[in-house]
Structure 1
Amino acid sequence: MSDGPLKDEKDLTMDERLERLQAERDHLRRFDEDRARRPGQLTPRQRVAALVDDDSLIEIGAFAHSQYEEVGRGAPADGLIAGYARVDGRKIIVLAEDPLALAQSDAQVAKAKRNRAINLGVYRSLPIVYLADGSETEYRAFDPNDALLMGRVAQQEPARDISERRAPFVSVLFGVCSGQDAALAIRADLIIATGDARLSAAGAGAPTLNAAVDRSASDEVEAVALARQFFALLPGTPKEALTAQQAVEPPRPLGDDPDSSSQALLDGLVDAGSGLLLSGGSDPHRMGLGRIAGYPVAFTLTGEGAPLTAGDVRNLARIAAWSSRYRLPFLSAQDCAGYDPAEANQPGYLQAVASTVESLRTSAAPKISLITGRGHAMGDFALGGKGTGFDFLWAWPAADVGITDTRDYAALQSGDSVAGPWQAADWGVVDDVIRPSESREWIARGLGLLAPMRGYPRLHENRGMSLHDAT
Structure 2
Amino acid sequence: MTIIHERSQEPTIEERLAELQLIREGVRQGPDPAATERQHAKGKLTARERIDLLLDADSFQEIEPLRRHRASGFGMEDRRPHTDGVISGWGTVYGRTVFVYAHDFRIFGGALGEAHAQKIHKVMDLAIEAGAPLVSLNDGAGARIQEGVTALAGYGGIFRRNTSASGVIPQISVMLGPCAGGAAYSPALTDFVFMVRDIAQMFITGPDVVQAVTGEEISHIGLGGGDVHARLSGVATDVYDDEESCLEDVRYLLSLLPSNNRELPPAVPLADPPDRRTDALLDLVPTDPSRPYDMRQVITEIADDGELFEVQPEWATNIVCALVRLGGQVAGVVANQPLSMAGVLDIHASEKAARFVQFCDAFNIPLVTLVDVPGFLPGVDQEHNGIIRHGAKLLYAYCNATVPRVSLVLRKAYGGAYIVMDSRSIGADLSFAWPTNEIAVMGAEAAANVIFRKQIAAAADPDATRDRLVKEYKAELMHPYYAAERGLVDDIIDPSETRTVLIRSLEMLRAKHATMPSRKHGNQPQ
* Residues 263 and 256 of structure 1, relative CA distance in 2, 3 Å threshold: closer
User: Is 1:402 equivalent to 2:440 in the alignment?
Assistant: yes
Rounded to whole Å, the distance in 2 between the matches of 1:275 and 1:296 is 10
Rounded to whole Å, the distance in 1 between the matches of 2:101 and 2:491 is 48
| Contact kept in structure 2, 1:65 and 1:72, CA below 8 Å | no
Give the 3-state SS of the residue equivalent to 1:7 in structure 2.
Answer: coil
Match of 2:63 in 1: 60
Number of residue pairs the alignment of both structures matches: 441
AA aligned to 2:501 is: W
Structural mapping, 1:202-351, within 5 Å: 209=229, 210-235=233-258, 242-243=267-268, 246-248=270-272, 253-255=278-280, 257-260=282-285, 261=293, 262-272=295-305, 274-279=307-312, 280-283=314-317, 285-304=319-338, 305-342=342-379, 344-345=382-383, 350-351=388-389
Q: Deviations over 1:269-319 (max 9, x none)?
A: 122363111223355542221112212111122233431344422321221
2:502 to 434, 443, 462: 443
Match of 1:129 in 2: 135
Rounded to whole Å, the distance in 2 between the matches of 1:348 and 1:8 is 71
Q: Deviations over 1:107-151 (max 9, x none)?
A: 22111111222223334433221111113x87341169xx9x99x
Match of 1:27 in 2: 26
Rounded to whole Å, the distance in 2 between the matches of 1:242 and 1:429 is 32
Q: Deviations over 1:184-214 (max 9, x none)?
A: 11101111111121112289xxx98433112
User: Is 1:389 equivalent to 2:427 in the alignment?
Assistant: yes
Match of 2:172 in 1: 170
Match of 1:182 in 2: 184
AA aligned to 2:367 is: F
Q: Deviations over 1:294-347 (max 9, x none)?
A: 121111222334313444223212211112211211111111223213362586
Match of 2:221 in 1: none
User: Is 1:374 equivalent to 2:412 in the alignment?
Assistant: yes
AA aligned to 1:296 is: V
Match of 2:455 in 1: none
User: Is 1:463 equivalent to 2:487 in the alignment?
Assistant: no
Deviation of residue 385 (structure 1)?
Answer: 1.2
Give the 3-state SS of the residue equivalent to 1:41 in structure 2.
Answer: coil
Rounded to whole Å, the distance in 1 between the matches of 2:145 and 2:435 is 66
Rounded to whole Å, the distance in 1 between the matches of 2:196 and 2:301 is 30
Give the 3-state SS of the residue equivalent to 2:298 in structure 1.
Answer: helix
AA aligned to 1:6 is: I
TM-score relative to the length of structure 2: 0.73
AA aligned to 1:361 is: C
| Contact kept in structure 2, 1:65 and 1:75, CA below 8 Å | yes
Rounded to whole Å, the distance in 1 between the matches of 2:254 and 2:377 is 32
Rounded to whole Å, the distance in 1 between the matches of 2:315 and 2:407 is 20
* Residues 386 and 202 of structure 1, relative CA distance in 2, 3 Å threshold: farther
Q: Deviations over 1:33-88 (max 9, x none)?
A: 74331475322112212222233322221221333485677633111111232222
| Contact kept in structure 2, 1:377 and 1:429, CA below 8 Å | no
AA aligned to 1:394 is: F
Rounded to whole Å, the distance in 2 between the matches of 1:242 and 1:434 is 27
Rounded to whole Å, the distance in 2 between the matches of 1:99 and 1:118 is 20
Deviation of residue 421 (structure 1)?
Answer: 2.3
| Contact kept in structure 2, 1:265 and 1:301, CA below 8 Å | no
| Contact kept in structure 1, 2:353 and 2:394, CA below 8 Å | yes
Give the 3-state SS of the residue equivalent to 1:308 in structure 2.
Answer: coil
Rounded to whole Å, the distance in 2 between the matches of 1:6 and 1:380 is 72
AA aligned to 2:308 is: G
* Residues 8 and 190 of structure 1, relative CA distance in 2, 3 Å threshold: farther
AA aligned to 1:294 is: G
Rounded to whole Å, the distance in 2 between the matches of 1:348 and 1:378 is 15
TM-score relative to the length of structure 1: 0.80
| Contact kept in structure 1, 2:281 and 2:301, CA below 8 Å | no
* Residues 452 and 27 of structure 1, relative CA distance in 2, 3 Å threshold: farther
The 4+ residue runs of structure 1 with deviation greater than 6 A are 237-241, 249-252, 377-380, 464-468
* Residues 436 and 348 of structure 1, relative CA distance in 2, 3 Å threshold: same
Which structure 2 residue ranges, 5 or more long, are not aligned?
207-223, 286-292, 452-472
| Contact kept in structure 1, 2:376 and 2:416, CA below 8 Å | no
* Residues 189 and 254 of structure 1, relative CA distance in 2, 3 Å threshold: farther
* Residues 93 and 450 of structure 1, relative CA distance in 2, 3 Å threshold: same
Give the 3-state SS of the residue equivalent to 1:339 in structure 2.
Answer: coil
Q: Deviations over 1:436-467 (max 9, x none)?
A: 010011111111111168xxx9xxx8738999
AA aligned to 1:188 is: T
2:3 to 6, 18, 23: 6
Rounded to whole Å, the distance in 2 between the matches of 1:346 and 1:91 is 46
* Residues 173 and 348 of structure 1, relative CA distance in 2, 3 Å threshold: farther
AA aligned to 2:27 is: L
* Residues 302 and 249 of structure 1, relative CA distance in 2, 3 Å threshold: farther
* Residues 347 and 38 of structure 1, relative CA distance in 2, 3 Å threshold: farther
* Residues 350 and 198 of structure 1, relative CA distance in 2, 3 Å threshold: farther
AA aligned to 2:251 is: R
Match of 2:51 in 1: 48
AA aligned to 1:307 is: V
Deviation of residue 265 (structure 1)?
Answer: 0.7
Match of 1:429 in 2: 488
Deviation of residue 168 (structure 1)?
Answer: 1.3
Give the 3-state SS of the residue equivalent to 2:330 in structure 1.
Answer: strand
Rounded to whole Å, the distance in 2 between the matches of 1:89 and 1:462 is 33
Rounded to whole Å, the distance in 2 between the matches of 1:64 and 1:350 is 51
AA aligned to 1:326 is: F
Rounded to whole Å, the distance in 2 between the matches of 1:277 and 1:122 is 26
- C-alpha RMSD over aligned residues: 4.0
AA aligned to 2:374 is: A
Which structure 1 residue ranges, 5 or more long, are not aligned?
none
Match of 2:219 in 1: none
Rounded to whole Å, the distance in 2 between the matches of 1:269 and 1:451 is 19
Rounded to whole Å, the distance in 2 between the matches of 1:392 and 1:234 is 24
* Residues 73 and 449 of structure 1, relative CA distance in 2, 3 Å threshold: farther
